Amino acid sequence: MLMLLQSFSRAVQLLLSGNREVFFIAFTSLQLSSISILISSLISLPLGVLLAFKDFSGRRVIIIILNTMMSLPTVVIGLLVYSLISRSGPLGGMGLLFSRGAIIIGQTLLSLPIIISLVYGAISRIDRRLPETLTTLGAHPGDIFIMTLKEGKTAILSALLAGFGRVIGEVGVSMMLGGNIRWYTRTLTTAIALETSKGEFELALALGLILLVISFAVNLILHWLVKDER
């Protein structure tokens, strides 16, 4: 117990000292995860609305697949993308492997089923007559889409935060596709794994504290949104 307290104290001191590498790693994680969620939201929002309001063949199958993929292990996503962008893969010539772009691709794919499923659930609670009513009033498709999002804005924002929470804490995609390269693709989770294996427990704990604060902030916002909606 004494050793744990000493390590915790040193980890806090490391954070208070403003260690450049620690905060660079934290910034890298936040940056890559934010970009991934931004890209994912541009894809997920239209698809979620489409699944909620349009009846078409195969719709239920798509929903089941999305729900299944929500719990897909991160290493499976990493393996899939790795097979595509490795030198022997179809996209190997693009030189994406062990780059920030590769991590963004992997994290985007990881968050897509989560955000689409949650957006679908949020929009499904909206009256299906809303698009028809807006069309009757002369609204354009773009206006209908925006109004639909406004109706479910709290639940949609919660979906985006849930997706962010999923990607900020993943390790499989970042490790397999980014390579954990110092000052480039090293993220909070991959750095924690590396430093722990090296015996640098204080540094790993400092990084873990940052990740814990980020996760707590995301959950606090989610709690506030749900409470505000009620």
- Taking phi first (over 0 means left), then psi (-120 to 50 degrees means alpha), and beta for anything else, what does residue 70 get? alpha
Q: Which of 142, 162, 150, 160 is nearest to 126 (CA)?
A: 150
Would you say residue 67 lies in a domain? yes
Q: Kindly report the three-state secondary structure assignment for every residue of the chain.
A: CHHHHHHHHHHHHHHHCCCHHHHHHHHHHHHHHHHHHHHHHHHHHHHHHHHHHCCCCCHHHHHHHHHHHCCCCHHHHHHHHHHHHCCCCCCHHHCCCCCHHHHHHHHHHHHHHHHHHHHHHHHHCCCCCHHHHHHHCCCCHHHHHHHHHHHCHHHHHHHHHHHHHHHHCCCHHHHHHHCCCCCCCCCHHHHHHHHHHHCCHHHHHHHHHHHHHHHHHHHHHHHHHHHHHC
In tens, the pLDDT along 40-83 reads 999 999 999 999 888 888 899 999 999 889 988 999 999 999 99
Q: How far apart are the two ends of the chain, measured CA to CA in Å? A: 43
Would you say residue 49 lies in a domain? yes
Domain region containing 169: 29-129+145-186
CA–CA distance, 148 with 32 (Å, rounded to integer):
29
pLDDT of residue 162: 92
Total number of domains constituting the chain: 1
pLDDT of residue 1: 67
Would you say residue 69 lies in a domain? yes
pLDDT of residue 230: 57
What is the pLDDT confidence band of residue 8, given thresholds at 50, 70 and 90?
confident
CA 203 from centre of chain = 24
Residue 115 near residue 81 (C-beta atoms within 8 A): no
Using the predicted structure, report yes or no on whether residue 229 has a pLDDT greater than 80.
no
Would you say residue 202 lies in a domain? no
pLDDT above 70 covers a percentage of the chain that reads 97
The CATH code of the domain that includes 162 is: 1.10.3720.10
Would you say residue 229 lies in a domain? no
Tell me the residue type at 69. Answer: M
pLDDT of residue 100: 97
Considering the chain, what is the average pLDDT of its residues? Answer: 90
CA–CA distance, 12 with 224 (Å, rounded to integer):
28
Would you say residue 5 lies in a domain? no
Would you say residue 1 lies in a domain? no
Would you say residue 21 lies in a domain? no
